[in-house]
C-alpha cells in the first residue's frame, strides 16, 4: 500500500500470482525426476594416498628433492650431463651462483608442483637484488633465462616493480596479495601449471595458464600468460613441447637462498 500501491494494479497482481505458481510447479517437477539420470559411476578417480601433512608428497608424486641429493637435477647449460653445483646440507639445497641454475632431468607438460624456499635471515641488498631466484615452470633452451618464471624474491619488506615481486609471473602477472614471510622463515609455493599448446605450423593454439598459492594464499588465479617472461621487451610464444623445470641462480650479489621439499604430480 502507501507509495507502492499503484504498482499493484489488478493485471499486475494476476501476472505476479501466475509467475509464482509456475515457479512452484516447475520446482516440484524437478523434484519428481529420476535422480539416477545425473549420477555417474565411471571413470573412478584413482586412489592417491596423501602425505602425512599437506606439504608432504602424495603417493603418485615425482619427488624432485627430498633433502638427500640432487640426482633429479642437472646444471643448466649446453652440457646436459653436468651435475648441479649447489650444496646439499641438512636436508636443504642452497643456490650456488657460480655454477648457475639447476634443471630437472625429466621434462613435463601439465603438473601440480610443491616447492619450499627460504631467504637467508641475514639477506642484504634491495629491489631485485635481494634474494632473487625463480622457478622456471618450463625452462626453454640451454642457456639464459628462457621460459616462464614464477618469481622468487624477498618481498617481505622490499619494494620493487609489482610484476617482479615474489608471487609474480615475472613482468606479466602481479600477485593478488603479498603473503611473504620474513627472511629466515620457510615459505611454500603450490602451483598448477597448464602448458601452452601449439599448432603444427608453430602458432599458438592455447596459452599457458597458472594458479599459484604462496604460503597457502592465492596469488595467481588461473592466470593466462602472454608468452615467455622476458627481462626486456614484450612477451611472445615460441613453439615447444614438454620442458624441464629450472631453479634460477640469479646474478645479484645478495646471499644465496635455499630450497627444500620439492615434488610434482604430472596431470
173 contacts Mg ion (rule: CB under 5 A): no
134 contacts Mg ion (rule: CB under 5 A): yes
- Rule CB under 5 A: which of 203-222 touch Mg ion? none
In sequence order, the β-bridge partners of residue 218 are 213
For the record, the C-alpha cell of 146 comes out as 628462457
Torsion-angle region of residue 167: left (phi > 0), alpha (psi -120 to 50) or beta? Answer: left
Nearest distance from C-beta of residue 135 to Mg ion, angstroms: 9
Nearest distance from C-beta of residue 213 to Mg ion, angstroms: 19
Closer residue to Mg ion, CB minimum distance, 187 or 265: 187
Helix, strand or coil, per DSSP, at residue 86? coil
Nearest distance from C-beta of residue 152 to Mg ion, angstroms: 6
Going by C-beta distance under 8 Å and a sequence separation of 6 or more, which residues neighbour residue 153? 128, 130, 131, 132, 133, 160, 164, 165, 166
* Rounded CA separation 86/33 (Å): 63
For the record, the C-alpha cell of 114 comes out as 610443491
By CB atoms closer than 10 A (0-12, 13-18, 19+), residue 219 is buried
160 contacts Mg ion (rule: CB under 5 A): no
Closer residue to Mg ion, CB minimum distance, 116 or 265: 116
Closer residue to Mg ion, CB minimum distance, 61 or 113: 113
Closer residue to Mg ion, CB minimum distance, 100 or 134: 134
246, 136 Cβ separation under 8 angstroms:
yes
Of 64, 92, 103, 132, the one binding Mg ion (CB under 5 A) is 132
Q: Which residue stretch of 5-13, 38-46, 128-136, 174-182 sits at the interface with Mg ion (rule: CB under 5 A)?
A: 128-136
Nearest distance from C-beta of residue 46 to Mg ion, angstroms: 35
Which residue's Cβ has the minimum distance to Mg ion? Answer: 134
What residues make contact with Mg ion under the rule CB under 5 A?
Answer: 132, 134
Amino acid at each position: 500500500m502507501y507509495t507502492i500501491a499503484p504498482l499493484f494494479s489488478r493485471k499486475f497482481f494476476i501476472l505476479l500470482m501466475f509467475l509464482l505458481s509456475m515457479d512452484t510447479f516447475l520446482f516440484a517437477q524437478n523434484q519428481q525426476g529420476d535422480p539416477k539420470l545425473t549420477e555417474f559411476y565411471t571413470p573412478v578417480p584413482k586412489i592417491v594416498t596423501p602425505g602425512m601433512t599437506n606439504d608432504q608428497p602424495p603417493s603418485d608424486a615425482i619427488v624432485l628433492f627430498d633433502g638427500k641429493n640432487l640426482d633429479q637435477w642437472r646444471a643448466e647449460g649446453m652440457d646436459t650431463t653436468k651435475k648441479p653445483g649447489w650444496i646439499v646440507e641438512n636436508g636443504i639445497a642452497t643456490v650456488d651462483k657460480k655454477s648457475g641454475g639447476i634443471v630437472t632431468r625429466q621434462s613435463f607438460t601439465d603438473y601440480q608442483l610443491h616447492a619450499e624456499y627460504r631467504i637467508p635471515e641475514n639477506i642484504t641488498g634491495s629491489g631485485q637484488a635481494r634474494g632473487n631466484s625463480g622457478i622456471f615452470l618450463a625452462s626453454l633452451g640451454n642457456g639464459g633465462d628462457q621460459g616462464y618464471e614464477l618469481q622468487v624474491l624477498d618481498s617481505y619488506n622490499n619494494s620493487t616493480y609489482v610484476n617482479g615481486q615474489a608471487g609474480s609471473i615475472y613482468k606479466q602477472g602481479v600477485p593478488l596479495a603479498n603473503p611473504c614471510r620474513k627472511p629466515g622463515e620457510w615459505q611454500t609455493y603450490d602451483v598448477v601449471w597448464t602448458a601452452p599448446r601449439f599448432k603444427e605450423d608453430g602458432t599458438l593454439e592455447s596459452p599457458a595458464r597458472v594458479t599459484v598459492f604462496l604460503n597457502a594464499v592465492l596469488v595467481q588465479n588461473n592466470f593466462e600468460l602472454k608468452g615467455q617472461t622476458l627481462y626486456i621487451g614484450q612477451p611472445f610464444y615460441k613453439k615447444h613441447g614438454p620442458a624441464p623445470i629450472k631453479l634460477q641462480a640469479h646474478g645479484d650479489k645478495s646471499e644465496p637462498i635455499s630450497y627444500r621439499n620439492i615434488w610434482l604430480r604430472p596431470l
